[in-house]
Structure 1
Amino acid sequence: MTQSIHIVDAFTEQLFAGNPAAVVIRNEWYSDDLMQKIASENNLAETAFLVQHNYAEYAIRWFSPLTEIDFCGHATLAASSVIFETQPTLTRLRFKTSSVGDLIIEKKPDGKISMTFPIRTLESPEAIPHALLQALPEPPVKILRSVQAWHAIYDNEQAIYNCQPDLEQLKQLAPLDLVVSAPAENYDFVSRYFWPANGGDEDPVTGSIHASLAPWWAKQLGKSNLLAHQASRRGGTLYCEVQENNVIVSGYTKKYLTGEIIL
């Protein structure tokens, strides 16, 4: 048996940049065990599995090489681009998820794809784990927490580029990950994302974390439209619009591969 698979670089207009995700579209789910094995074999930050409900509605699930993830932006963007490519008259999609509700996806005339995410609130923690403090190479000006990750906020972007946290210490924070962020000269803010307990050392571009980053920076900067850059080695650009209850995260994609899995 063979299964079609696509690999797409998300949040970039250039090949070999952004965050690569694998996309598998079916009429029914594989077993959880098989989906995890496929994701582990792909060894990308995320593999998105989709089951089509109708012309413009799909259920979506995301797997890292280690585990199923409850929310992934870049693989959602990659999956959307595959569907829009195969159905060129389609401009709007609905993805059904078990953890973050329905995600509305739209294709813009310039090729950019926008995704409507629910806002994820940042809160000041009552206590900060010792492992987090030990992991950070220099103290941030603020530490916050969302349901997804610890947020270490710095006041200069060079600290983000230089950041090399202790990954063994970060593993102790599971199931939470770590994002570091700061205001930037050529962008509204920059960030990096580390997740050794859930997927890998560093995620190249993390769409989901901007559901918390963009609203927080919107309040700090007094603006609702923000240009964000994830400063990993591959790098990626995210266009964010903060609304009352949602964050619209948009980006471009570049197709890398279409092939077949032999099962």
Structure 2
Amino acid sequence: MKLPVYKVDAFTDRLFGGNPAAVCPLEEWLPDTIMQSLGAENNLAETTFIAKENDHYHIRWFTPTVEVKLCGHATLATAHIFYTELGYTKDEIVFNSLSGLLKVSRKAEGVYTLDFPADKLHPVTDVPDAIFEGLNIGPVPVFKSSFDYLLVLHSQQQVEALKPDFKILSALDARGVIVTAKGDEADFVSRCFFPPSGIDEDPVTGSAHTCMTPYWSAQLNKTSLKAIQVSKRRGYLDCELKRDRVLISGSAVTYLKGEYYLDL
């Protein structure tokens, strides 16, 4: 059995930047064990599978070790493949997912906007020891989103200087840890560490911006913000808070086209 596969660098306008994702369009679903094995074989932050269901598409995302409920960069990568490789011509794509209906529109050539639900943050008073120990920092404000812990640091320099102990962080009962601060060349910056989900540092995390955008919107008193995820590969995102939704825009470039060979 042969299946098409594409690899895309998302939230960047150049190859080898942003966050790479694999995209596999399906006529019908593969067994979950096979999709998880492909996620492990690709060893990318996410491998995405899409299948048509009625008048929309269903999307699923697999890290090397688990299926996740929401992934921004891989959804943006999937939209890029729809428009550049699969002949999709409508203004908007609607995906059904474990996080509900998600929408993606094309703003310009190679630029796309995700329409995701905003995620609420709740202050954490009983902070797990593994967070400060794993990040090797002193106490700072800690919040919890639907998926992750979020820490607000003092500066972009502090975010960039972090050298986490991923083994310690892997013990957390969460998808992972987001660290953020006010940016020097953007409204805010971040890094994302997800060792509990099989990813030490995610290069660019669209879904993390569904909680950071409302937070920084309130802090900076503005609804349109520019963000940089200051990983080694770096990612650039334009974020907008619209009531209970977050619009996240970014670029994408195709890196690879190929085929899976499966013995099913």
TM-score by length of 2: 0.96
What code does the residue aligned with 1:137 have? N
Alignment partner, residue 78 of structure 1: 77
Kept in 2: contact 1:11–1:252 (CA 8 A): yes
Could you report, residue by residue, the CA deviation over 1:129-183 in whole angstroms, capped at 9, with x for unpaired residues? 1111211222253111111111111121100110112211111113331011100
Structure 2 residue 254 is the aligned partner of structure 1 residue 262: no
Alignment partner, residue 164 of structure 1: 163
What code does the residue aligned with 1:131 have? A
Alignment partner, residue 27 of structure 1: 27
Alignment partner, residue 117 of structure 2: 118
Kept in 2: contact 1:204–1:232 (CA 8 A): yes
2:95 counterpart SS class: strand
Alignment partner, residue 63 of structure 2: 64
Alignment partner, residue 242 of structure 1: 241
C-alpha change, 1:176 and 1:259, in structure 2 (3 Å) is closer
Q: Percent identity?
A: 39
Q: Distance in 1 between matches of 2:136 and 2:129?
A: 13
Once the 2 structures are TM-superposed, how far is the Cα of residue 84 of structure 1 from its aligned partner? 1.1
What code does the residue aligned with 1:134 have? E
Matched residues, number: 261
Alignment partner, residue 16 of structure 1: 16
Structure 1 residues 213-228: aligned runs within 5 Å: 213-228=212-227
Once the 2 structures are TM-superposed, how far is the Cα of residue 261 of structure 1 from its aligned partner? 0.7
What code does the residue aligned with 1:48 have? T
2:80 counterpart SS class: helix
Q: Distance in 1 between matches of 2:88 and 2:120?
A: 36
Once the 2 structures are TM-superposed, how far is the Cα of residue 253 of structure 1 from its aligned partner? 0.1
Q: Distance in 2 between matches of 1:187 and 1:83?
A: 30
1:5 counterpart SS class: strand
What code does the residue aligned with 1:43 have? N
Q: Distance in 1 between matches of 2:119 and 2:88?
A: 32
What code does the residue aligned with 1:208 have? S
What code does the residue aligned with 1:39 have? G
Kept in 2: contact 1:174–1:198 (CA 8 A): no
Alignment partner, residue 6 of structure 1: 6
Once the 2 structures are TM-superposed, how far is the Cα of residue 66 of structure 1 from its aligned partner? 0.6
Kept in 2: contact 1:140–1:154 (CA 8 A): no
Alignment partner, residue 45 of structure 1: 45
Q: Distance in 2 between matches of 1:121 and 1:115?
A: 18
1:16 counterpart SS class: coil
Moved over 4 A (4+): none
What code does the residue aligned with 1:33 have? T
What code does the residue aligned with 1:203 have? D
Q: Which moved more, 1:154-163 or 1:131-140?
A: 131-140
What code does the residue aligned with 1:3 have? L
Q: Distance in 2 between matches of 1:216 and 1:121?
A: 9
C-alpha change, 1:251 and 1:230, in structure 2 (3 Å) is same
Contiguous gaps of at least 5 residues in structure 2: none
Alignment partner, residue 100 of structure 2: 101
Alignment partner, residue 92 of structure 1: 92
Q: Distance in 2 between matches of 1:122 and 1:131?
A: 20
TM-score by length of 1: 0.96
